[in-house]
Each structure stands twice: as structure tokens, then as C-alpha cells.
Structure 1
Amino acid sequence: MEEQYPQPPAAEQPTTEPAEQAAPAAEQPSDAAQVAELQARVQQLEQEVAQYKDQFLRAAADLKNYRRRTEEERASLIRNATAGLIMKLLPILDDFDLAMQHAPDEIRDHPWFAGIVGVQRKLQLVLESEGVKPIEALGQPFDPNYHDAVMHEDVGPEQAGKVLEDLRRGYMLHDRVIRPSMVKVGQER
């Protein structure tokens, strides 16, 4: 049989490490260039991501503002359409008010008159349900935002500048005046 000789320990084996170490040293400059190139590419991509994120946030904000604006416009159109119809109904309510004020006492107990009062009240309730409310003018200080002064009367200093008579009732639709009150205003003598 052949005798086998033991293998020399690893330290004793000839190595080619210096040659292998020389090769990575030669590759290191190209690795550093690749790393620098990759870092530049990452930085460029991060800038693009930031730019796209900014564009996305702006577009999302624009969409939110657009939706809010269109919702407000839609609500405004509905209110304005309602205001047009209400303006057509107010003269009818005025006629009812005049009729009630000038009705003779002998017909006030008649069932027919009670029916007319009921119709007037229903019309008032419909308008109130749509947000219409009368402007209380009598005894209030004159305000050109709510009152239209069509007459003046000489009075003492305590009544000067106040509404003495409500000639035609004014109305508000929610928070805006749709018809100012026609009033008589006191002026100091």
C-alpha cells in the first residue's frame, strides 16, 4: 500500500493571497465609482419622489377645493332658485295680510273667513320651512340694510331714527335680505 503523507498545515501551503488582494485593489476604484454613481442616482430618484409627492399633494388639494367649491355653488344655485320662487309668493302673502287687516268685523266669525286664515297660515308655514322669516321693523332703529325708508314723520327725540310704521313687511331668506321692509321713519323736529 502506498503510504500517504500528511498534508502540510494551511500556514505552510503556498498561498496566492497577495495576487488576489491585488485584484480587489484594482477593482476598488471601479467599485467606488459605481457606489458614487448609485448614490447620485438615489439622490436623483429621491428628488423626483419629492417632486412627484409635491405634485400629488397639490393635485389632491386642488381636487378637495374643487369639490368644496362645486358643492357651495350647487347650494347657492338651490338657494337662488328658491329665492326666485319665494319672491313670487311674497306679494300673495302681502295680499293675504292686507285682506286680514281690512276684513269687516261681521265676517270674521264666518267659517269661510276661518278657511282663508288657514290658507294664509299654511303659506306662511311653507315659507318658514324654506328658511324665510319676516324682518321685525316696528320700533326698531332704522337700518338701511333691512329697511327701505319711503316716508318720514316729525317726532320727538326719543322716536327719532326709529321705524314708526311697517308699510310693507320685509323678509330674509336664511341670513340674507331678500326684500327689505318699506317703512316710515321718525325724524327729529
Structure 2
Amino acid sequence: MEEKELEVKKDEVVSEAPQEVDWEIKYVRLQAEFENFRQRLRREKEEWQEIANARLLKEIVDIMDNFYLALESIKHNRKKDAIIEGVQMIYKQFENLLQKEGVTKIDALGKPFDPSVHEAVGIEEIEDGEDNLIVKEIAPGYLFKNRLLRPAKVIVSKKIEKGGRE
């Protein structure tokens, strides 16, 4: 009986070995499928970014055409008001484009200094008023969909003691 039992056990071991190989093959295949999936997602993400960039760039090119027309107008027309009006229109186009894309201007003037959205580029001493208020905006700051795109470059107030200077 022992020989018969050994043969049965041997058959069990032999029958289990292919199953282990099957799991290894399945694991390797799954890894390859996952890697292919990741590469496909990366390619699709790049394609979507290119489409979005192309759409935005087309709108910028349209605005550039208007700049060109304004420059041509300057060459032939010496009317200052017409030139100013043309440049203001182009500026407004850029503002509208940025707004449409989710870019908003940070309101800084007169607000308390906040290092998370403001970059202090100078200090202005004042006798009356509060400390750490923004008194001048050198360059506006912008948020892109509520994330900081660029901090506002500002000059901050510093209250001086009235008795401190003689």
C-alpha cells in the first residue's frame, strides 16, 4: 500500500506544479497589462494637454494679430487717442481670456500683507495708519483655479514712531 500512496502523492505534486506556473504566467501578464495601461494613460494625458494648449495658443495668436494691427496703425496714424484705445482693447482681450481660463487677479491694495499670496519687494514708512498693509502694487498677483499662479509684488507699510525721529 505504501507504493500506491506514494504514487497518489506524486500525482498530487505533479498536478500542483502546473498550477503554480499558471499563477506565475498570470502574474507576469497582469504586470505587462498594467504597464501598457500606464503608458496608454500617459499618452492620452499628453494628447489632452496638447489639445488644451493648442486651443489656448490659438486664442493668443488671435490677440497677437490685434497687436500687429495696432502697431501698423501706429506707423500710419499719429493719433494718440486711437493708439491708446487700441492697446486698451487688446489688454481687455487678454483679461477676458485669462478670466475664461480660470485665472483671477489677486486684490492686494489696502489689504493686510499675506506672504502666501504677496511678495514684499519694499517697505514704505508711514506715520499714520496700520502696519503691514499693502500701500503699492508693483505687479499684480494671479490665482489659477484658486491656486497661486504668481504672487503679487507689493510694497508694505511700516509704521514709524512719532517720537523716534528727531
TM-score above 0.5: yes
**Identity of counterpart residues, as a percentage?**
26
- 2:77 is matched with none
Code of the residue aligned with 1:137 in structure 2: it is A
The TM-score, its normalising length taken from structure 2, stands at: 0.57
Question: Would the alpha carbon gap of residues 164 and 171 (structure 1) be closer, same or farther in structure 2, given more than 3 Å must change?
Answer: same
**How far off its partner does 1:185 sit?**
0.6
Moved more, 38-47 or 171-180: 171-180
SS of match in other structure, 2:107: coil
Question: Would the alpha carbon gap of residues 187 and 173 (structure 1) be closer, same or farther in structure 2, given more than 3 Å must change?
Answer: same
Given candidates 15, 31, 35, the residue that maps to 1:58 is 31
Which runs of 5 or more structure 1 residues have no equivalent in the other structure? 1-24, 90-106
Question: Would the alpha carbon gap of residues 80 and 139 (structure 1) be closer, same or farther in structure 2, given more than 3 Å must change?
Answer: farther
Question: Would the alpha carbon gap of residues 118 and 159 (structure 1) be closer, same or farther in structure 2, given more than 3 Å must change?
Answer: same
Given candidates 126, 129, 132, the residue that maps to 2:100 is 129
Q: Deviations over 1:98-125 (max 9, x none)?
A: xxxxxxxxx9xx8987665444322211
Question: Would the alpha carbon gap of residues 140 and 63 (structure 1) be closer, same or farther in structure 2, given more than 3 Å must change?
Answer: farther
Answering whether residue 122 of structure 2 is matched by residue 164 of structure 1, we say no
Code of the residue aligned with 1:141 in structure 2: it is P
Question: Would the alpha carbon gap of residues 151 and 116 (structure 1) be closer, same or farther in structure 2, given more than 3 Å must change?
Answer: same
Q: Deviations over 1:23-82 (max 9, x none)?
A: xx9xx94x6554333311221112112222332333333334444455556667788897
Question: Would the alpha carbon gap of residues 140 and 54 (structure 1) be closer, same or farther in structure 2, given more than 3 Å must change?
Answer: farther
Answering whether residue 27 of structure 2 is matched by residue 47 of structure 1, we say no
Question: Would the alpha carbon gap of residues 63 and 148 (structure 1) be closer, same or farther in structure 2, given more than 3 Å must change?
Answer: same
Alpha-carbon separation, structure 2, partners of 1:144 and 1:79: 32
Alignment size in residue pairs: 140
Code of the residue aligned with 1:38 in structure 2: it is D
Q: Deviations over 1:132-162 (max 9, x none)?
A: 2212222333234432322212247973223
SS of match in other structure, 1:161: coil
SS of match in other structure, 2:12: helix
SS of match in other structure, 1:141: coil
SS of match in other structure, 1:137: coil
Which runs of 5 or more structure 2 residues have no equivalent in the other structure? 64-79, 161-166
**How far off its partner does 1:170 sit?**
2.1
Alpha-carbon separation, structure 2, partners of 1:157 and 1:47: 83
